[in-house]
Structure 1
């Protein structure tokens, strides 16, 4: 890249703009002179001479307009255009100066206009050369007046004009040179900043971690492609269009941001960073994805860093996003690997008693004839089959076995599950309430979904009050890409500390639990292209206030061809 200071004057836009300004100023001065001589032509006794001066000014105005048009549309040979204009200006002003009576006319000050242009646009030597010519013209005219005694003038007045012109042009030329150097420096700094910004954008765009730049009010100012992929949204650079708080899907990030801001006091380090973990549902995942579970939720590690500057009215905060879903999966696999053989051995030992129970139930069915007894035997057989299938699922989790997904209508499927649950757990008919889901259809392995729902509802039975409607199953479709099934009870919500480890294998808060129920339920959802999580939603309490309410949420992905989940119109 050519340095600005080394560019020829013909290629510098600044010089051409200055020349155009010079031409515009000439037109203004000529118009003022034209008005001045026009008034004199009306009042003067020698109308012929005044009219001649007026005609000279009119011709000067036309030429000045021509110079302006030429400098605007023909930006070549700057010095040739400048010299031509200077020669014409000095000649025209000299003609008016001499024709108007010399020094007594007061028109000598007009020479300062072309000389100032030469001082700004031409080198110092050339500018002083034109000053010398003007000074000689002034002295020559004074000597002519003195020799022929045409007026009461002295050469000293012309000499003072010349000395003043020399001093003014020298100062103007030096100031112009200093301004040009400052412009060169500013232009160089601007190119350096643009280059650095281009490098920063290239590096940030190629980063695997996401980056968001937000204001104190969570307004998003910038983000890299990795952040756009994690959040499922496009971010216009430098053009804030929304806030984190405006999008419900990004609410966990906004909450973590506000929580990070609270402990920061006046004496805290401005560049200190904090981190937290959140799980979000991307706003939109319309692009191709190899992993369907990434379309439903993303587990992100957030790290905050404040950027403060005296030149900014509002501080900026950089949020670093790291997708830890894969790291989380690897950690869980490592945790399970050490107990893989033990789990397989236990599953083998459990399967043998189940086989004995199943065989004994079959033998009993041949002797029992009472309907009640047969119904009990059917319950035993069904649960033996279900337990055996659950053992198979536990053994297949690490292998991510292929599922036999079938189209299921949620309303009829859940109704069957609840009927069975009421019979086996002696649940009151009105204790579990289910919202209308007649038009919702999903593609899910029936036995897998049965295990997930039974696990969640059984868990809710332990904490619900037992009142009518204390357990609720609700279906909702917040976006065209998602279908959600909520399982909620009126018991106390799970604390955030427990929620952070809720789906970890072998983690349990009950002395009788194994810590595998929710982990298996989530893995079954993931294997069927769905996502299970525990979420907090705002609900109206009895006194009309919004309060956070916890519930388990199964999120089904809606495929673009409608094959995974969707609304089935009857």
Structure 2
């Protein structure tokens, strides 16, 4: 059976055809070399009796070699037939030249190695040895003829040695070729498996909800999936790195977290480095205009995105280039879903709380007031005061819960911050008996936002009350300022000079019923954030570095309201 019957794939067939074409070109070169040799021999030995016959044989061989070469290029069919025809012509032409030149003493027997080697590479071992047998018979027949005719220098032993050498060489070449073909088939199979696995990986990664970024040690981005484009608003190009995370101000939190993780790996090793961190990323114009590329239409970037980052190093033996995979999980969506579930539960409880709890509280408060008129004992008065204080606290909690059901009805419109904040601060200072200079208001005259006035009044009132609880009370201890960063979304900062909130408390700061004060209900900040979300804004607590009095940077915290849009006027 011929070797082309064993070829399993189109790629292997291409390899065999290319090999056959290479042998065709080699055949043309050999014919040209023979013609050149005859030309030099004719100049030095003009009286050669067989020169004309040699010329005719070589020229015919050149014509046939050229025809075979063109046939293998333009007619890729019947591989075995083409190969056998070429081998027959090769052996026939070389045999004619061998006999005409004088047999084994001419040294032309080595030319048989060319067609036999091609046969060993392109055919199985049995057909290859068959053609070697034919060549050996030709050599022995010619030597036997010379011996029978008593021609001088007849050497059947040399012909036998040529035949034995051809058998050994062809067997060795055939075995090596078979091994190479087997390796090629295995490589083709592995390549197909890798292509299939790569296609599956691309499908899985593209359909993942989590974002994936492949970055280098200097924050170069090499690849990413569609989810990361949606989370970061980032057009990620696959292949060579196009940009660095550290070059984009909007992605500075991600770059800083990644750099801190790398520092931990260098200091403590990969096993002891914290692999997860939470960051907040704000949208920016620097991302959308990155290198002139625009985002796909389906990508919608939120004003503020809370992300959970998980870092995994790529460790492969012998890998010289360092890579890391950053898995990004949009915690904002999870928080929104959890809050929606909480709101749905609270909405069902609102009616029963209003009737089943508020009315008994009113009765308790009224009864305590009546008892207070008749009691003069200080101990009993203290107990009545405890009852009254807890009734007020429970009533405030109920009011906060009821606000959650009313917050869905918002009336957003252009709201000028300057007159609104001036009126709010006057009312707040009068209500809480605050010194006029304690709250410092920055320049907000050039800004207006789209926010429900009643909702914004409630949010700022809650934040100011919280700041008043921890501020020192000195002039300017509470500051309100408006900033317009690169994200082109107005921010309103509320900050006091009290100690910053610890990271442990910050993790639960906006959870309902979570409070660190014995007088708080744990719903104020939760309601404030819900009201901001209802107005397409975002409330968060951020840590920043401020310049201290001695010229050093010290960390401080502040509440930041990021509005959905700002409108200068």
The TM tier, using the shorter chain, reads: 0.7 to 0.9
| Residues 288 and 94 of structure 1, relative CA distance in 2, 3 Å threshold | closer
Shift of 1:80: 1.7
Q: Determine whether 1:280 maps to 2:281.
A: yes
Q: Determine whether 1:497 maps to 2:504.
A: yes
**Corresponding residue number in structure 2 for 1:474:** 482
Q: TM-score, normalised by structure 2?
A: 0.75
**Corresponding residue number in structure 2 for 1:113:** 114
Q: 2:69 is paired with a residue of what secondary structure?
A: helix
| Residues 468 and 156 of structure 1, relative CA distance in 2, 3 Å threshold | same
**Could you tell me how far apart the structure 1 residues matched to 2:10 and 2:265 are?**
55
Moved more, 506-515 or 343-352: 343-352
Q: State whether residues 53 and 96 of structure 1, in contact with CA within 8 Å, keep that contact through their aligned partners in structure 2.
A: yes
**Could you tell me how far apart the structure 2 residues matched to 1:149 and 1:515 are?**
122
Shift of 1:122: 1.4
Q: Determine whether 1:526 maps to 2:536.
A: no
| Residues 515 and 64 of structure 1, relative CA distance in 2, 3 Å threshold | same
| Residues 471 and 133 of structure 1, relative CA distance in 2, 3 Å threshold | same
Q: TM-score, normalised by structure 1?
A: 0.75
Residue by residue, what CA displacement relative to the aligned partner does 1:369-412 show, whole Å, maximum 9, x if unpaired?
A: xxxxxxxxxxxxxxxxxxx9999775141465220111123455
Residue by residue, what CA displacement relative to the aligned partner does 1:148-204 show, whole Å, maximum 9, x if unpaired?
A: 455523111111111111111112112212222222222222222333333344344
**Could you tell me how far apart the structure 2 residues matched to 1:32 and 1:414 are?**
99
**Corresponding residue number in structure 2 for 1:83:** 84
Q: 2:167 is paired with a residue of what secondary structure?
A: helix
Moved more, 407-416 or 71-80: 407-416
Equivalent positions of 1:47-62 (< 5 A) are: 53=54, 57=58, 60-62=61-63
Shift of 1:233: 3.1
Q: 2:525 is paired with a residue of what secondary structure?
A: helix
**Could you tell me how far apart the structure 2 residues matched to 1:231 and 1:550 are?**
25
Q: State whether residues 439 and 477 of structure 2, in contact with CA within 8 Å, keep that contact through their aligned partners in structure 1.
A: yes
Q: State whether residues 343 and 404 of structure 2, in contact with CA within 8 Å, keep that contact through their aligned partners in structure 1.
A: no
**Could you tell me how far apart the structure 2 residues matched to 1:35 and 1:142 are?**
27
| Residues 48 and 153 of structure 1, relative CA distance in 2, 3 Å threshold | closer
Residue by residue, what CA displacement relative to the aligned partner does 1:189-235 show, whole Å, maximum 9, x if unpaired?
A: 22223333333443444444444444555544444444443333344
**Could you tell me how far apart the structure 1 residues matched to 2:525 and 2:336 are?**
19
**Could you tell me how far apart the structure 2 residues matched to 1:543 and 1:344 are?**
57
Residue by residue, what CA displacement relative to the aligned partner does 1:423-468 show, whole Å, maximum 9, x if unpaired?
A: 6665556962524662x44221112123323443554454378466
Equivalent positions of 1:245-324 (< 5 A) are: 245-257=246-258, 274-281=275-282, 295-313=302-320, 314=322, 316-317=324-325, 319=327, 321=329, 323=331, 324=334
Q: Determine whether 1:515 maps to 2:522.
A: yes
Shift of 1:525: 0.5
Q: Determine whether 1:409 maps to 2:410.
A: no
Q: State whether residues 41 and 47 of structure 1, in contact with CA within 8 Å, keep that contact through their aligned partners in structure 2.
A: yes
**Could you tell me how far apart the structure 1 residues matched to 2:62 and 2:493 are?**
84
| Residues 8 and 209 of structure 1, relative CA distance in 2, 3 Å threshold | closer
Q: State whether residues 403 and 527 of structure 2, in contact with CA within 8 Å, keep that contact through their aligned partners in structure 1.
A: no
| Residues 191 and 349 of structure 1, relative CA distance in 2, 3 Å threshold | same
| Residues 332 and 272 of structure 1, relative CA distance in 2, 3 Å threshold | farther
Q: State whether residues 212 and 223 of structure 1, in contact with CA within 8 Å, keep that contact through their aligned partners in structure 2.
A: yes
Shift of 1:130: 1.5
Q: State whether residues 440 and 476 of structure 2, in contact with CA within 8 Å, keep that contact through their aligned partners in structure 1.
A: yes
**Corresponding residue number in structure 2 for 1:383:** none
Shift of 1:121: 0.8
Q: 2:541 is paired with a residue of what secondary structure?
A: strand
**Could you tell me how far apart the structure 2 residues matched to 1:243 and 1:522 are?**
33
**Corresponding residue number in structure 2 for 1:92:** 93
Q: 1:12 is paired with a residue of what secondary structure?
A: helix
Moved more, 394-403 or 529-538: 394-403
Shift of 1:476: 0.9
**Corresponding residue number in structure 1 for 2:375:** none
**Could you tell me how far apart the structure 1 residues matched to 2:554 and 2:25 are?**
70
Shift of 1:514: 3.8
| Residues 104 and 469 of structure 1, relative CA distance in 2, 3 Å threshold | farther
Tell me the C-alpha RMSD between the 2 structures: 4.4
**Corresponding residue number in structure 2 for 1:485:** 492
**Could you tell me how far apart the structure 1 residues matched to 2:77 and 2:403 are?**
79
Instruction: State how many pairs are aligned.
Output: 519
Q: State whether residues 507 and 516 of structure 1, in contact with CA within 8 Å, keep that contact through their aligned partners in structure 2.
A: yes
| Residues 266 and 456 of structure 1, relative CA distance in 2, 3 Å threshold | closer
**Corresponding residue number in structure 2 for 1:379:** none
**Could you tell me how far apart the structure 2 residues matched to 1:494 and 1:474 are?**
21
Q: State whether residues 332 and 504 of structure 1, in contact with CA within 8 Å, keep that contact through their aligned partners in structure 2.
A: no
Structure 1 unaligned blocks of 5 or more: 353-387, 558-564
Residue by residue, what CA displacement relative to the aligned partner does 1:50-108 show, whole Å, maximum 9, x if unpaired?
A: 57656754554454344333323322211122122222222232333334333233222
**Could you tell me how far apart the structure 1 residues matched to 2:362 and 2:442 are?**
35
Q: 2:483 is paired with a residue of what secondary structure?
A: strand
Q: 1:295 is paired with a residue of what secondary structure?
A: coil
Moved more, 26-35 or 540-549: 540-549
**Corresponding residue number in structure 2 for 1:325:** 335
| Residues 74 and 336 of structure 1, relative CA distance in 2, 3 Å threshold | same
| Residues 104 and 6 of structure 1, relative CA distance in 2, 3 Å threshold | closer
Structure 2 unaligned blocks of 5 or more: 289-294, 364-394
